[in-house]
Amino acid sequence: MRFSFKVAAATVVVAGAVAGVGQAAISNNGVVTMCVSNTTGAVRAVDPSGVARPCANTETVLPMNQQGPAGAQGPAGPQGAPGPVSLPSVSAKWRKGSVAFGSSYGTVVDLPLFKGAYHVTAKGTAYMQEVLGHDYWSAVTCQLRVTHADGKLEIMDAGVVEVSDGGPEYASFALQGVMRVGTAVPETAQLACKDDGGYGYGDDAVTLQNLNLHAVPVSGYVQTQM
């Protein structure tokens, strides 16, 4: 019983001794060989390679695993919070061909968007067909806007271009803005244009071409009115 007590007591300080054990004291199978004094309980690490008994007759051989066995499986953690709703990377609409419009605002291309925040861009080209022997011109005004679910009209951007059959016959425009859809009901981004008139021979003299509308989801934005 006396011997067993000393060996057990020695194991209390084994952890500190193992920390200083060199690579030579570790066998190929990951076991550290310790020698424990039968009288004092002193512990020392030895290299067992090539030796039948690495410890003295007054010591007990105590092999120890360098790495302990795996512990028991811990309990499952709590359920994490649901992640954000995934949005499409880009929503877009392109309208080909020539689009006629009048002297009051009319939607020439639109894009429905779901709940979230978006960076919206719109592009297009105004064209006045050439009439020989005349010098007709017109101003075209376009708005990038959205009518929210509560009926409020928000204008995100606006621009004016001039075209003439004497040149330039083509004028391109680009608008951009940010919008937030705050309800579960989809809201529609719109490009609306009108012919402000000028000197010409009718509303059908000016058309719109290459109309496109793009919306890219963003994580959020802060908009300040100047």
* Neighbouring C-beta atoms of residue 118, cutoff 10 Å: 25
- Tens-place pLDDT, residues 47-103: 877 777 788 889 998 888 767 778 899 899 899 888 766 655 788 888 888 998 888
- Tens-place pLDDT, residues 172-196: 999 999 999 988 899 999 999 999 8
Task: Decide yes or no: CATH 2.60.120.1340 for domain 91-218.
Answer: yes
Mean pLDDT of the chain: 80
Helix, strand, coil share of the chain (percent; to 5): 10, 50, 40
How far CA 50 is from CA of 54, 101, 109, in Å, comes to: 9, 98, 87
Q: Which is higher by pLDDT, 15 or 158?
A: 158
Tokens standing for 219? 């994580």
In this structure, the dihedral spanned by the alpha carbons of residues 205, 157, 112 and 92, taken in order and rounded to 10 degrees, is: 70
- Tens-place pLDDT, residues 32-43: 888 999 999 899
Report field, pTM of the whole predicted structure over 0.75: no
Q: How far apart are the first and last CA of the chain?
A: 89
Predicted local confidence at residue 17, as pLDDT: 46
How far is 1 from 115, CA to CA, in rounded Å?
Answer: 77
Q: Which is higher by pLDDT, 83 or 14?
A: 83
Exposed e or buried b per residue across 85-106, where buried means at least 16 C-beta atoms within 10 angstroms of its C-beta: eebeeebebebeeebebeeeee
Q: Which is higher by pLDDT, 111 or 52?
A: 111
Average pLDDT over residues 120-146: 87
Instruction: Indicate the domain borders of the chain.
Output: 2-65, 91-218
Predicted local confidence at residue 110, as pLDDT: 94
